[in-house]
Structure 1
Amino acid sequence: MRRKKKPDIHIVESHEDETDALIDEVLKELREEDGVQEEIDEQVRKHRKSQKTKRIIAAVLIIVVVVAMALVINLRTYTTSRVSTTYEINAEGNVSYLEFGNGVLKYSKDGIALVNRKGDEEWNQPYQIKNPIVNTWQDEAVVVADKGGNTIMVMDKKGLKGEMQTALPVERVSVSSQGIVCAVLTTNASPKLVCYDAEGNVLVELTTSLAGTGYPMDISLSEDGKMLLVSYLSVQKGQILTKVVYYSFDGTKEKSQDYEVTSDEYPGVVAASADYMDADTSAVVTDNSLLIYKGAEKPKLSKNITINKKIKSAFHSDKYIGLVLKNEGKGGYELCLYNKSGKKILSEDFTGDYANVKISGSQVLMYDGKKCSVYTRNGIHKYQGEVDDVILEIFPTFGVNKYIVMSANGMEVVRFVK
């Protein structure tokens, strides 16, 4: 039998070596590529970090520039005004203006209207009142009354809320945020304090006496109309005496108290100004002191601040109490501003006489004729100069150094400039 010849099998040992070498080469290249990718990633990170740093620096520079410009604008005292816009106002006769909400009240013996900041009337309520007096509760309600007459009208932002006729002549009025009104009515004997709701219904009557309570120098209703603050002036044993009295009308009256919940006496002084600032805080200004009361239901004296200078005028907002004091010796006046806790936050000397002083927002505005001076609560003297027309009312508006001035020419938007 013939044997089959075995095939020749030639095994190349180096083939395996070449494959391993190829694999090693590929792995080497992959490792090298990984290194390149890491380098690229690192460069990208550095670039992004550099760009982020540049953006941060640019943002900081912009902020610095903006802050610097704001400081230059806000810290400078301007002396010139320029009218940018004028809106015609239909105003005939002797017209008065009073800042109210986002607009201004225009009132005279013929009626009252709310005018917005574009000079347009939001509402107009005609009447015939010989001697109109006005009181507001912040931006919520307004009462206009005929001093010496018998007409009282209550309005809010939307217009007329109610009207009432009194049996006795009106001396002064105060209004709450809901339109509750308290009026001092004069009689042949002693004044009466009568409170009405917005529809004219009598809520409370209080009888005063010169020998007992004294004469009501000022009155102020609380925000909800449930509390009444009265500053009385009387004479006892030949000496003048001020009584600060709070009445509560919340329905829990004790007959023996005749609505009284607080009554404090201050000998030798007159308190011509008494005002509620919010539901919990009220302020009374006497000849030589600022009295701050706290408490919604039974107010108590919180701060008695002695004033060592003669008080020329007092004014307030819902946040601040302001005083203009007469400087002795060096002349001029001191403008002071206190917060509701009684802390003095502003004290600035100034010269010149201003018949009108008010707070609008965080600014104190003093004006008389064409003259005007403006301070911020931080003591920055923003403006000292004149405007083109006699100022009837002024208050800040939207924009840098922009103010609305009410004058005989209507509504003017002015800007304070260098």
Structure 2
Amino acid sequence: MSEWNSMNREIKKNQLRSQIVQNSGNKDESSEEIIKKARSKVKKKRFRISLVVLLVLAAGGIGAFEYFSLYHYTGYGVVWSKELNEGSYEGYLNFGSNLLKYSKDGASYLDSQGKEVWIQSYEMKSPKAVVNGEYAAVADLQGNSIYIFNKAGNVGVATTVLPIVKATVSSQGVVAAVLEESTANYIYFFKQDGSALDVKIKALLGGDSGYPVDISLSPDGTQLMGAYAYLKNGTLNGRVAFHNFAEIGKSVPDRLVGGFDEPYDSSLVAQVHFLDDTYACAFSDNSVSFYSTKNALSPELVKQIPIKEQIKSVFYSRKYVGLIVDNPGGENPYRLDIYRPDGKQVFSKVFQYPYTNADIDGNHVFLYNENSCRVYNMSGRLKFSGTFDFPVTKIRNGRFPNTLIVTGPQNMKEIRLQIGGQYQ
């Protein structure tokens, strides 16, 4: 009996052990499933949170874009003001994200807060500055010197025997200059250190090429675009010509790869400009023309837009070309037309503001005079109109979407545009 009881107890113990092991296995499996489900829930929750955050950011971005694109400011506040060094003053040019100030006795490079990065002294009777990308040049018109700069300062000085009529610079620092002689004009080329290149073009008013009125180098320095005046049947006509100084241009006589006379029959071309290495534009007295040099040996006239009204101003950036023309009749005496490099119109706007200067910086058009300003975006919307109690000679974008850098002969200010009112 005791043995039977002992055996009974042993069997019950084994059954109990078996149940414990089985229950432990079931418990382990349930734990794994619970963990998996928990992880899945966490992932889904994180995804939903991330999606909500992205939607909020997107909505905020769209709202900010709409705000800065559509809002019209009428007032401003001065963020900071900087007094500039005194001296003679000729003008300012955008130089990268900063400004080049030049005068008869020197040039200086000003950063975005009006600090002088460098100063270069010289003496010129009639300085004229040009900028292209990382390089700038200041030429003494009717004089014999050209100072070449990059953002670190003066890198070279070109000296000429003949008087300088025009000068242009590439973004690589190569300079081309029109030099005047009594019987002919010449286009000479200089390296960034000022030394002369073994390249020159002779031009005669009565010759095949014509008299150079204006020139422009492509940013890479391999192409030269020229506006020429020449005689045809006793009448003065305009011409646009392209020269290529890359290796491919050696196969063409005088490196002349394109000439356009017919579009300018009985008209004169006053100004030409390379917008980038592919697109260029020419301004005559009755048209604006857009060219492409995608085919280096055969430049193409992409589009010519006739202008019936009198052209008052032309201005441009790498991305846009602007014209202001008379607008006869009505209460608005002027019309502002903005184009892309391929000649497609961005917008057209009539206005009656008495501007004296016009510029493009980024996606803004600036019209201003000595004490007031108007700013348009590339939708043609008036973003800002206001007056200043200090002299103005240059306006450009500031560090933020609602700020401007306003520069006068002896001062620079950053202003923050506001809904209304103004303070100092």
Contact 1:309 1:327 in 2 (8 A): no
For the residues of structure 2 that align with 1:11 and 1:225, how far apart are their CA atoms? 110
For the residues of structure 2 that align with 1:281 and 1:262, how far apart are their CA atoms? 14
Say whether 1:96 aligns with 2:91: yes
Aligned position for 1:394: 395
Aligned position for 1:233: 229
Contact 1:103 1:117 in 2 (8 A): yes
Deviates more, 1:215-224 or 1:12-21: 12-21
Distance 1:202 1:31, change over 3 A: closer
Aligned position for 1:355: 356
Give the partner amino acid of 1:333.
Answer: Y
Match of 1:188 among 182, 186, 197: 182
Deviates more, 1:312-321 or 1:290-299: 290-299
Aligned position for 2:220: 224
For the residues of structure 1 that align with 2:202 and 2:10, how far apart are their CA atoms? 122
Aligned position for 1:283: 281
Distance 1:209 1:60, change over 3 A: same
How many angstroms does 1:100 deviate by? 0.6
Helix, strand or coil for the counterpart of 1:408?
coil
Aligned position for 1:117: 112
Distance 1:57 1:305, change over 3 A: same
Matches within 5 A, 1:20-169: 22=16, 26=20, 27=22, 31=26, 42=37, 46=41, 49-50=44-45, 52-54=47-49, 56-138=51-133, 140-169=134-163
Contact 1:184 1:192 in 2 (8 A): yes
Distance 1:242 1:22, change over 3 A: same
Say whether 1:407 aligns with 2:408: yes
Deviations 1:192-236 (A, max 9, x none): 322233323253332222222333221112233333211112332
For the residues of structure 1 that align with 2:252 and 2:301, how far apart are their CA atoms? 26
Matches within 5 A, 1:311-390: 311-330=311-330, 331-390=332-391
For the residues of structure 2 that align with 1:314 and 1:38, how far apart are their CA atoms? 74
Aligned position for 2:305: 306
Distance 1:178 1:72, change over 3 A: closer
Match of 2:4 among 10, 25, 50: 10
How many angstroms does 1:48 deviate by? 6.3
For the residues of structure 1 that align with 2:281 and 2:252, how far apart are their CA atoms? 27
Aligned position for 2:210: 214
Normalized against structure 2, the TM-score is what?
0.85
How many angstroms does 1:81 deviate by? 2.0
For the residues of structure 2 that align with 1:401 and 1:209, how far apart are their CA atoms? 51
For the residues of structure 2 that align with 1:206 and 1:33, how far apart are their CA atoms? 91
How many angstroms does 1:40 deviate by? 7.9
Deviates more, 1:244-253 or 1:18-27: 18-27
Contact 1:273 1:314 in 2 (8 A): no
Stretches of structure 1 lacking an aligned partner (at least 5 in a row):
1-6
Deviations 1:237-272 (A, max 9, x none): 244421111223346777993332211202122221
* RMSD between superposed Cα atoms in Å: 3.1
Aligned pairs, number: 411
For the residues of structure 2 that align with 1:21 and 1:186, how far apart are their CA atoms? 116
Deviates more, 1:124-133 or 1:345-354: 345-354
For the residues of structure 2 that align with 1:308 and 1:96, how far apart are their CA atoms? 29
For the residues of structure 2 that align with 1:235 and 1:392, how far apart are their CA atoms? 39
Give the partner amino acid of 1:290.
Answer: S
Aligned position for 2:260: 264
For the residues of structure 2 that align with 1:159 and 1:124, how far apart are their CA atoms? 8
How many angstroms does 1:57 deviate by? 2.9
Distance 1:17 1:401, change over 3 A: same
Give the partner amino acid of 2:176.
Answer: C
How many angstroms does 1:95 deviate by? 4.4
Distance 1:50 1:318, change over 3 A: closer
For the residues of structure 2 that align with 1:322 and 1:20, how far apart are their CA atoms? 97
How many angstroms does 1:15 deviate by? 4.5
Give the partner amino acid of 2:213.
Answer: M
Stretches of structure 2 lacking an aligned partner (at least 5 in a row):
420-424
For the residues of structure 1 that align with 2:247 and 2:11, how far apart are their CA atoms? 108
The share of aligned pairs that are identical, in percent, is 27
Deviates more, 1:57-66 or 1:31-40: 31-40
